[in-house]
Structure 1
Amino acid sequence: MKGWYKALEDIVWLTQLGLNMLLPLVLCLGGCWWAVTNWGWPEWLFLPAVLLGLAAGAQNFWVFCKERLDRTKKEKNDRVGFNSHQ
């Protein structure tokens, strides 16, 4: 049963990571599209919106991975191996 729980937990982590990386890009492009259509802004602003969305997604990826690595270090148990008795 513990293996199923770990597999489901990993699926949740991957889903959250995907959303953390994709959502900033979608929001930046949506905001740029809205500004271009409603306010008549130039269409070249899509390029900075894409770059800003990718940068925000990369920053979210970095923070997510750093927190995940810190959590796995804390969860690591200090078992004594067969050849490493104290």
Structure 2
Amino acid sequence: MIKKTTDLSKLFTQFAMVGQLGLSLVTPLLICIFACYMLTTRLGAPGWIYIIGFFFGLGGSMTTAYKVYLDITKKNEPKKRPENEVSFNKHV
């Protein structure tokens, strides 16, 4: 019974991680588009400003995705032992 609960807990944790990643990827784009909307309505900026905001938002999303990728690969990477480490089981 305990095994089933931990499996379900891991599943919910994975769903939460995917949801958080999705929000982290969408949020920069939405913020930049909203900033462009405010610029066009309040200050009278031209409509092509949305294109620049879209690319800045994509850049922020790609940066977030790259940082998540680095974090995941760092966790999955095996730990390296130093070359000059002294070990009693090491044979010459």
User: Which residue in the other structure is 1:37 paired with?
Assistant: 41
For residues 72 and 16 of structure 1, the distance between their equivalents in structure 2, rounded to whole angstroms, comes to 20
Q: What is the identity, as a one-letter code, of the residue corresponding to 2:50?
A: F
Structure 2: segments with no counterpart, 5+ residues: 79-92
Describe the SS at the equivalent of 2:9. Answer: helix
Residues 44-55 of structure 1 aligned to structure 2 (within 5 Å): 44-55=48-59
Per the alignment, residue 9 of structure 2 pairs with 5
Match of 1:60 among 60, 64, 85: 64
- Following TM superposition, by how much is the alpha carbon of 1:55 offset from its aligned partner in structure 2, in angstroms? 1.0
Letter in 2 for 1:5: S
- The number of equivalent residue pairs is 74
Q: Deviations over 1:51-82 (max 9, x none)?
A: 010111011011012213323447xxxxxxxx
The TM-score with structure 2 as length reference comes to: 0.74
Q: Matches of 1:71 and 1:16 in 2, distance apart?
A: 18
SS of residue in 1 equivalent to 2:45: coil
Q: TM-score, normalised by structure 1?
A: 0.78
5+ long unaligned stretches in structure 1: 75-86
Query: What do you get for the CA RMSD once the two structures are aligned?
Result: 1.4
- Percent identity at matched positions? 20
Deviation string 1:11-53 (CA, Å, 9 cap, x unpaired) is 1110110011000000000000001000001110100100010
